[in-house]
Chains A and B, each alone.
Chain A
Amino acid sequence: MRFPKNSLKTALSWLCLLFLASCEEPYAPEVVEGPNSFLVVSGFINSNGPTTIKLSRTQNLSDESAPKVQSGATVALEEENGNTFPLRETEAGTYFASALPIIGDKKYRLVISASGDRYASDYLEVKYTPTIDDITWKTDDGNLQVSVSSHDDQNNTRYYRWEFEETWEYSAYYYSVLEYVNGQMRDRDPRNQINLCWRFNNSSSIQIGNTVRLSQDVMSNFPLLSIPSNSEKLNRKYSILVKQYALTKEAYDYWEALKKNTESIGTLFDPLPTQLTGNIRSLTTPSEPVIGFMAISSVQEKRIFISRSDLPTGWGIRSQFCPFDTVKVGEEGEYFSGSGYLPVDRIYSNSMALIGYAGASSSCVDCRVFGTTQRPAYWQ
């Protein structure tokens, strides 16, 4: 339930209109327009696999250019009273190490030198992530609910975070047997099939959970996401890869705060925005904000597949609307030379004479509009 925010806003606009005043005006406070270029550190330190750290800079809110990456920095993992292990820049702003020699009972910190400033995270303890026991799903109230279960016999983990990558097989609404190439209509080459694709989606919302209230460290069926029964994702076959990370309490608090940050904040009727204090600081200018929270842990992954046949009947029927158009012979160049409209099939008269072509907008015909025809290696 969401109130009173929206209603009160409506009320105010209502009062505005009552007095015929233009009430809402653009507002750009100086600070918002000011040059804000703080270092952003994202990624985590993988204790049993490749580590990727991305460095970038914050941008002005009205800046529409692509995100600015921080290239040319030196990034290294520093053992407390010990060795330093560098990461190397593989592409601009991305720093990588294939395997860092991390020992469980030691503490490490990430050190960064960029644009003449030095930054370091707090010293971090190493968290071991327990394996994912199971990824389960159930159909409930018109939704497919995917949940994850895990446990730690040592009762050490307690705080969990997940990311997931969704993949689903997807076919275009119409199966096109024709292609219009170089002003010629011809049968579609099977190598150019555009009906079956795979689409991908990575989790954007923050998924965190804890077991601190439980006597045992058992994470049972934590709901990760829910997919409506008419989603295109369930049309053929769906797969989800879940990555699990163990968190320290501090890291958990940070992610929780970040999660609670809502998308529009600052009005009288919104809750106060969440302030994020990460664990990375500037050593050169202590007052300079640095964004990000570094953690060291292993990562555990698990993938499952769900076919449409596993689901109740009636599920996975798409609600896409695709009108079918008829194009007369001779007019095909007019319709199909652009990329917005694609031929589907030939149309014959009762006497089997070719009288035209059926066509539809490319989003109804070409699955590549949304996905890729490249079958993922893991696809079963």
Chain B
Amino acid sequence: MTPLYRITFLLAAFLLLGLRQGNAQTSSPPLLTLSLKEASFHDLIREVENQTRYRFYYHAADLDSVTVTVQATQKPLKEILEQAVAGTDLRFSITEQNDVLLTKGKKFVATLPDNFFQRNENLTKSKPLANEGAARQPFIPGEQDKKKAVSEAKLYVIGVKRDGATGNANLAGHLRDAKSGEPIIGASVYIQSPLLATTSDQYGYYSLTLPVGQHELLIRGIGIKNSKRRIGLYSDGKLDIEVEEDVRSLKEVLVEAEKDRNVAGMQMGMERLDMRAIKQVPTAFGETDILRVVLTLPGVKSVGEGSTGMNVRGGSTDQNLILFNDATIYNPSHLFGFFSAFNPDIVKSVELHKSNIPARYGGRLSSVLEVTTRDGNKKKFSGSGGLGLLTSRLMLEGPITKDKTSFMVAGRSTYSDWLLKKLPQETFAKSSASFYDLNAQISHEINSNNTLYVSGYLSKDKFRLGSDTLYSFANHNASVKWKHIFHNQLYSVVTGAYSNYGYGVNSEKNAVNASDMSFSMNQANLQADFNYFLNSKHTLDFGASSILYNVSPGSLKPVGSESLIMPDVLQREKALESAVYASDQIDISPHFSVYLGLRYSLFNALGPREAYTYAPNEPKTESTIVDTVSYGSGKSFATYHGPEYRISARFGLTDHSSVKMSFNRMRQYIHMLSNTATMSPTDTWKLSDANIRPQVGDQVALGYYQNFRANTVELSVEGYYKKMKDFLDYRNGATIVLNHHIETDVANAEGKAYGVEVMLKKLTGKLNGWVSYTYSRTLVRLNNPQVSELINQGEWYPSNFDKPHDVTLISNYRFSQRFSTSLNFTYSTGRPITLPIAKYQDGNVQRIFYSDRNQYRVPDYYRVDFAMNIEGNHKIKKLAHSSWTLAVYNLTGRKNPYSVYFRSEAGKIKGYKLSIFGQPIPTITYNFRF
């Protein structure tokens, strides 16, 4: 723990541990004075509610045609109502809690049978009381520290009701799935009048400050049934809400959740994908692939097919912070990016922030991709899995202690080795390629205020391709999270995480050259995040974090006694990245809110290190090294720090449209070194140091959001302009691997990116999905002759992933509950490329003349995919649910170029293009869960 962090933590704890109390009072039956003639029943109710604390519950339709004539002076309500309902078929009951229940035809019995509480207990546990339309049941009196609200009909009273109580009280708790006990993430919890809303966070926690009184609390979320809870809120209290899974929406695409989040939420440049949505998108190998779906979102691109590295709004592949349960993943792919490293069975949701990145995240320039896994079923043992052509997977979950502790383990592996062996060619038989990944996690609710999450992840890839060289890479991650609720409005999450990424290249065929090359890095981070729901206008987030990096940039070692390889080990790199942040979301009015965030990050490159010093104002080359300085262990020899602003605002134009804008600054202290445009297993990571400055990026974004047709159709239009400074571009002919002075082969480039993203989503109905169009440019400039040679005469040139036009359609059509199809279409402009344009004779050597960097483009890309999902029946109490997915990837068989290259053949230079999926690829997958 750094001192800075410790101080912040303690301050926060002391300042915000305020105690809150409610007080109790009893009331006496009030008397009323009324005079109504031929008035509607609603008028009567309004009068009564104005004069007294009585609250009426009824079906509005029952009262529509009823007129009343009442004359009363200082009469109790009972008498007035008897007068009013005379001659109608309306009946009423008045409870001890001053609730008036109006029913049609049959009187509601307000007195409870003696054994009511006992029976009600049982009911609560088994099935929700969903007798819609029947009159409401009265609340259950008595003090309950924390309520678990299952029933829609019941009135949950929080605190003790008192007369004339005004002001606000806070309600907080967890949203959970009634069946599995899993938290419900990102669901809206709100009341309609006045409109006060919040969203459950990644722990399913919500906190809402409401006026004291009775409310109908509405809950909307992805894959859950729209539900409501009646509450009587009289002082701060807790209410855990269990909601039912929406079985039907199994087949309904996505973003059913947060129906008006598009317009009403602060978020912009943010997409949340539910696993349900992800599962609908066909992939090349039939396996649900998170990253593949993320790539269909506007503003997210990749250089080529089969590369997992993504470019978000013109950023390079290393500018994305990929978090898996809060641990950083450095290589999110398997098998050259044909599979993503996340097992689809355990993932709950994926959240991508493209702009307006919350202050709690930092360290990368372009985006944050947060992958959250499920908690595991807290109620019963269950599992799921799938069998595909190349991979299989299995996941098991269940309670260790019911409702308290749950576990989840999952594994996935490939049998492509087997497939390779079946191939006739000898080279393939000698090849091998395999991967696996494992997940394990436990979530434990210590008590109602403390929850602990432990998760571990391991992925490993190995491949040998017809040659003697064996490549392998692995991710190891572990994280521990402790969530502590101080009181309703304040909670903290303390996270400790460890990430390790490494690769190895082993070659043993030729004993003389037998060698082992490896790279590895690890990071340990500790962070504390606090959420403080100050009141209905302010939501504060603050915290601190610290990351200790440890990188072994590369080593080459001989293998065996005959090897003549000279050992070469680059010196280790160490650094500490720390940050503090605070942000406040201020809801000034229902139509205007702002988010003000500030993050301050500090980076120290730590010794021991032998660092080169270069002549000032000269390009850094081996020839301009003027000195070598040695720094002792733990000594900070280069420090960078700076503020990162995160500001956004939302203006509601109407109930269904809004305008949002944001300004973001990000700083990045770790850089990926790769001499290819995609992510490859041999990419290495480099920390900033005295010779490599951190990258800084600024982004402004402006968006317009509108919902149509009762929030079922969403339109968003977002424009952005982004400037990036000091990101690394390579000098010509750079050497990346085992380079002792990498700063001589890279140059600080500046970049700019701008674009407009238009997206239209239809959320419900038989036909659903989205269509998006993106226009975007991303340009790079290297124009400082003191840094490196000029590229393209120092003019702006398109980056490797500049694809101006992009159209994506993701559509699903549900024929029945058990049969649905999806059809996807993607088009994008071809990737820029530098082409050889002429040849010439120089002395006796033939040389090639190249165009300006990235002056030309490969042919445009388009692809159509089709998939069918066939489900078994939807009986909830089935032993196992299964489904078949039949998909055809690249339906039209277009040969999209993955790569274009030139070869000299018999003195002639010929161009070739390589396409990987040059024909339709059918796949079949069997999925099951139990």
Contacts and interface: CB of A to CB of B under 8 A. Distances in A.
Contacts of A25: 895, 912-913, 915
A31 B837 contact: yes
A21 B918 contact: yes
B853 interface: yes
Nearest to A8: B680
Interface string A281-312: 00000000101000000000000000000000
A321 B728 CA distance: 53
A265 interface: yes
Given A32-B911, A265-B850, A61 B836 contact: yes
A338 interface: no
B624 A212 contact: yes
Interface stretch (B16-24, B136-144, B184-192, B899-907): B899-907
A94 to B, nearest CB: 12
Contacts of B856: 29, 31
Interface in B587-629: 622-625
B916 interface: yes
Contacts of B835: 29, 31-32, 266
| Most-contacted residue by chain A among B515, B732, B903 (CB, 10 A) | B732
A31 B625 CA distance: 42
B733 A4 contact: no
B48 interface: no
Contacts of A274: 732-733, 850
Contact of B916 (A12, A28, A42, A269): A12
A106 B548 CA distance: 59
Contacts of B916: 12, 15-16, 23
A14 B914 CA distance: 12
B843 A42 contact: yes
A12 B899 contact: yes
A378 interface: no
B653 interface: no
A14 B428 contact: yes
Interface stretch (A171-179, A256-264, A341-349): A256-264
B684 to A, nearest CB: 12
Given A40-B840, A62-B910, A266 B676 contact: no
A291 B849 contact: yes
Interface in B718-762: 730, 732-734, 737-738
Q: What band does the interface of chain A fall in when counting residues whose beta carbon is under 8 Å from B?
A: 35 or more
Given A14-B465, A22-B918, A29-B835, A3 B682 contact: yes
Contacts of B819: none
Interface in B255-300: none
A36 B837 contact: yes
Contacts of B622: 213
A64 B908 contact: yes
Interface string A27-69: 1110110101110101000000000000011111111100100
B412 to A, nearest CB: 19
Contacts of A264: 901-904
B902 A266 contact: yes
Contacts of A32: 835-837, 911
A177 to B, nearest CB: 36
Given A17-B428, A260-B733, A268-B677, A11 B463 contact: yes
A13 B433 CA distance: 14
Contact of B849 (A29, A38, A268): A38
A29 B433 CA distance: 34
Contacts of A24: 912-914
Nearest to A39: B840
A28 B910 CA distance: 8
Interface in B876-930: 895, 897-904, 907-919, 921
A355 interface: no
A34 B836 CA distance: 11
Contacts of A62: 908-910
Contact of A272 (B681, B732, B847): B732
A269 B849 contact: no
A62 B903 CA distance: 11
Contacts of A268: 303-304, 676-678, 898-899
Contacts of B420: 14
Contacts of B897: 27
19 contacts: A1-B737, A7-B467, A9-B899, A14-B431, A16-B915, A19-B917, A23-B914, A31-B851, A60-B839, A61-B911, A63-B839, A253-B789, A260-B732, A261-B732, A261-B848, A264-B901, A267-B901, A274-B850, A275-B853
